[in-house]
Amino acid sequence: MNDSLTLDTAEASRNENVETAREASSIELHGLHKRFGRHTVALNGVDLTIEAGEFFTLLGPSGCGKTTLLRILAGLEEADDGRLAIGGKDITEVPPHKRSVNTVFQSYALFPHLSVRENLAFGLKMRGLPPVEREARVAKIAEFIKLGDLVARRIDQLSGGQRQRIALARALVNEPDVLLLDEPLSALDAGLRSQLQVELLRVQKRLGMTFVFVTHDQQEAMVMSDRIAVLNGGVIQQVGPPREVYEHPVNAFVARFMGHDNLYPITARQGNRLTTPLGELVADQAGEGDLLLIRPETLDLLPGEVAGDNHLLAVVNERLYRGSHAEYRLEVGAGTLQATLNNRGRHLPEVGDRVTVTVAPDDLVTLSE
């Protein structure tokens, strides 16, 4: 699926009218600490507020603490210290079966020997709901998730995408205040994953429910989230909307994790003129940071040598053609630079060409290591 189409569709989904059947719940975390053994710190003083009705994503590499945080929300792990509230109610000591929280796991955790209908009704049966009400809820959620005639099939007769829908429906049929999702799309192929990202976002906006989503995939987080928290070493590095986190990372870890390789030390500065291994550049947003970030999509390449501010002479070392765009690796001054150009019928430079790299001053960002 085309990435720009997926992003546009996801943005439209975020703007749909919300069909809220119940009031959404906020989440508040205060001073959460968690250690496994004597030396492994999973969470180190996490403070976080998730707004009611928000699609909130915990993003970070393996071992950063995001899944531990999700399990504490679910009641499957206990924090060593700190408090947790949902909808303004302290649930720190509340056992998992008494929390109005449901979880969709990476493995889906479906019962293969039961039909789809029986899987959907299982949690309702354990809660003691009468058969008539169980059937009504199952029928309602099956229609909402568009399961069609799948309800009579066995789980082992379903595809991966169908199983993901069933796992989501089984969690939603219990009408929780908060839905937790632990990398539920990671086992799917790229095309199906893109499709279900948008479907999941649409379901969340139609319900108006608070979703907390865990992933290590930056693109997935940016497509689906109202806000993102980037974690590393059990500490939240940055919280903000996807565009803010991507375009204005607060430090080098966030920048690199969001896929930015164009990071250069600032060796000298005179006002907004910055000296880097690439050469001298003018930055409108020249803060106090000691690193300069240049996003590859903000660059343009001009044929030959062109003089001017933020014009750097370069040689094309590598070109990767990717259909809708081309990725370049350039030799610039004493460094290398990566650039991305769209393919709107333009002439694309070849390997070995001498070109001039240009970037607007307001596209340069300074940050700290």
At 250-269, the pLDDT tens digits run 999 999 999 999 999 999 99
Residues 286, 353 share a domain: yes
Please tell me the total number of residues recorded for the chain in this structure. Answer: 369
Nearest to 251 by CA among 288, 291, 283: 291
pLDDT grade for 237, boundaries at 50, 70 and 90: very high
Dist. CA 246–CA 241, nearest whole Å: 9
Nearest to 34 by CA among 88, 86, 74, 71: 71
Residues 226, 360 share a domain: no
Q: Is residue 161 part of a domain?
A: no
Q: What is the DSSP letter of 354?
A: E
Residues 321, 181 share a domain: no
Longest CA pairwise span in the chain (Å): 78
Question: Which tokens hold the place of 269?
Answer: 């500065």
Per-residue pLDDT, 16: 47
Dist. CA 36–CA 20, nearest whole Å: 39
Dist. CA 27–CA 335, nearest whole Å: 45
Per-residue pLDDT, 17: 42
Residues 334, 265 share a domain: yes
Residues 250, 268 share a domain: no
Alpha carbon of 368 to those of 61, 266, 287: distances in Å? 20, 10, 10
Alpha carbon of 239 to those of 68, 82, 179, 209, 286: distances in Å? 18, 20, 20, 20, 22
Residues 343, 212 share a domain: no
Domain boundary (256, 275, 294) is at 256
93 exposure class (CB count in 10 Å sphere: 0-12, 13-18, 19+): exposed
Q: Is residue 313 part of a domain?
A: yes
What single letter denotes the amino acid at residue 125?
Answer: K
Which domain CATH number covers 241? 3.40.50.300
At 62-110, the pLDDT tens digits run 999 999 999 999 999 999 999 999 999 999 999 998 999 998 887 778 8
Question: Which tokens hold the place of 204?
Answer: 């969340």
Q: Is residue 144 part of a domain?
A: no
pLDDT grade for 288, boundaries at 50, 70 and 90: confident
Domain boundary (256, 279, 296) is at 256
pLDDT grade for 357, boundaries at 50, 70 and 90: very high
Residues 283, 239 share a domain: no
Dist. CA 352–CA 109, nearest whole Å: 53
Structural domain boundaries, residue 66 = 3-100+176-256
Question: Which tokens hold the place of 3?
Answer: 């990435």
Q: Is residue 189 part of a domain?
A: yes
Return the C-alpha torsion angle 272, 277, 279, 280, nearest 10: 10
Dist. CA 293–CA 266, nearest whole Å: 10
At 331-346, the pLDDT tens digits run 998 899 999 999 877 7
357 exposure class (CB count in 10 Å sphere: 0-12, 13-18, 19+): buried
At 114-134, the pLDDT tens digits run 888 888 888 888 888 898 998
State pTM to two decimals. Answer: 0.86
Continuous segment of H or E residues that includes residue 236 = strand 235-240
* Residue 104 CA to its chain's centroid (Å): 16
Residues 235, 290 share a domain: no
Question: Total structural domains in the chain?
Answer: 2
- Determine how many CB atoms are found less than 10 A away from the CB of residue 38: 6
Q: Is residue 64 part of a domain?
A: yes
Better-predicted residue by pLDDT, 5 or 174? 174
Q: Is residue 113 part of a domain?
A: no
Sheet holding 27-36, edge to edge: 40-50, 27-36, 81-86, 89-90
Residues 272, 195 share a domain: no
At 192-230, the pLDDT tens digits run 788 888 888 888 988 889 999 999 999 999 999 999 999
- Determine how many CB atoms are found less than 10 A away from the CB of residue 117: 18
Residues 265, 248 share a domain: no
Dist. CA 217–CA 186, nearest whole Å: 9
End-to-end, the C-alpha distance of the chain in Å comes to 36
Dist. CA 345–CA 216, nearest whole Å: 35
Residues 330, 292 share a domain: yes
Continuous segment of H or E residues that includes residue 166 = helix 160-172
Statement: residue 328 has pLDDT above 90: yes
Q: Is residue 126 part of a domain?
A: no
Q: What is the mean pLDDT of the chain?
A: 88
pLDDT grade for 22, boundaries at 50, 70 and 90: low
Q: Is residue 26 part of a domain?
A: yes
Dist. CA 72–CA 76, nearest whole Å: 6
